Structure 1
């Protein structure tokens, strides 16, 4: 009974905060009355509060621009975790654009949707990412191409790192900075998650959003850590595949360091 009440209250809080903040974000995008991430941060924090997810950060988002962040990907909540404290935008798979609610909210975040299956579109998408980088937007890329279980990193796909090359070749910038970053869910109710329980936070494959949202609302009180590495300069002389392998190695190091030595619970 208590779990049902917790789920109902959490879901009601998410609906209420979204119904208030989403229209304000639309106003922000259309009028520019305030920075676009002001409302987004409030919304992301409200979602995390409803889910009981606490965020800890090691390192910092690089102030260098243009900036592309390369991160592992575990769940839809990764967006809320990062968006709750950082001024960033996201690069997501095209399927998300048509999802109920998540697609709408992603557009409010000015997400760039990419379709890896249709090569004819890839140039336009890379152009859009390049333009956003040149305009000073910090863009988050999930190079695994899908979500993992939180225990290990999946191989990086180098294709979308091509946006950095395109921004340089178009004359938008001489150097793009690429920063490795890891998102790790480490504790539940203050107790370290083991390998067996860590996938509880993960949203994998074709899993429906509703049941996963209910699970998170039921369990609650999870700790999420974000660890930033040092950015790497990408220039016209850089090799995209080599940079992709380097980022994969550095994100894996950040991931394993958080798994082996998580920050103490507050």
Structure 2
């Protein structure tokens, strides 16, 4: 007998209409074409620049193909910044990167997936070990290198995706790599606002990644996303990683309640 979770996953896929599968197929073809084209362009540009523009182009294409319609509110402070954002969906990554050119700080568990690690490396992703305090110095070095190469880094302090209508606790341990002596880089909270459609977009519970991706790619309606660049943290708000986590969460939560 099949596990209950597998039966549930199959039921979700069966709810996708035939035209939805047609749309999925078309989008997958476009995504594969984007991968092939952008990988070739990446290696073509690589010898001539340390700030390769192709990962940002690729992620903008991913966002567009997936149906995202992006709008930004506020300004980010300059070419170098740390962004601390709420996390709702895998769509968050192409959205932020496409708008800012940001790289990402991710848990090192993702590094075990070969093709994903390869693609992430092209966008200067920094893989950190959350519970290995001995590696903090190495993580700070990697963060600085990524900042030099891309100009911006994004961290999702919740550590996982949430439902989008409220924030999960921010894990200050995820901020250990920016807690050392990076004093001159702005730290800016970012609220990713999917509006009233957030419940349909969020990736929560036991839903597998592939099932979520199929469900998103089967949507005919565009997905509106407003990226709110909130005021950067200042003074005592950024004295240490715990203060950073508290202040960033409070800033995003306040913005959510204002709408």
TM-score interval w.r.t. the shorter chain? 0.7 to 0.9
Partner of 1:171: none
Partner of 1:12: 29
- SS of the equivalent of 2:163 reads coil
Is the CA contact (8 Å cut-off) linking 2:79 and 2:152 kept in structure 1? Answer: no
- SS of the equivalent of 1:232 reads coil
Q: Classify 1:86/1:54 alpha carbon distance in 2 versus 1 (closer, same or farther; 3 Å).
A: same
Partner of 1:126: 140
C-alpha separation between the residues in 2 aligned to 1:162 and 1:119?
9
Is the CA contact (8 Å cut-off) linking 1:64 and 1:177 kept in structure 2? Answer: no
Most deviating of 244-253 and 129-138: 129-138
TM-score scaled by structure 1? 0.80
Partner of 2:187: 178
Q: Classify 1:227/1:68 alpha carbon distance in 2 versus 1 (closer, same or farther; 3 Å).
A: same
C-alpha separation between the residues in 1 aligned to 2:193 and 2:75?
15
In the TM superposition, 1:96-107 aligns within 5 A as: 96-99=110-113, 101-107=115-121
Q: Classify 1:27/1:227 alpha carbon distance in 2 versus 1 (closer, same or farther; 3 Å).
A: same
TM-score scaled by structure 2? 0.82
State the shift of 1:95 in Å. 1.5
Partner of 1:81: 95
- SS of the equivalent of 2:247 reads helix
State the shift of 1:106 in Å. 1.2
Deviations 1:182-228 (A, max 9, x none): 11212xxxxx43xxxx2321233664332111101111411111001
Partner of 2:75: 60
Is the CA contact (8 Å cut-off) linking 1:68 and 1:176 kept in structure 2? Answer: yes
Structure that is richer in helix per residue: 2
Partner of 2:48: 32
Partner of 2:39: 22
Q: Classify 1:126/1:15 alpha carbon distance in 2 versus 1 (closer, same or farther; 3 Å).
A: same
- SS of the equivalent of 1:25 reads helix
Equivalenced residue count is 240
- SS of the equivalent of 1:90 reads strand
C-alpha separation between the residues in 2 aligned to 1:253 and 1:135?
33
- SS of the equivalent of 2:101 reads coil
Is the CA contact (8 Å cut-off) linking 1:130 and 1:166 kept in structure 2? Answer: no
Q: Classify 1:133/1:34 alpha carbon distance in 2 versus 1 (closer, same or farther; 3 Å).
A: closer
State the shift of 1:135 in Å. 6.9
State the shift of 1:181 in Å. 0.6
State the shift of 1:112 in Å. 0.2
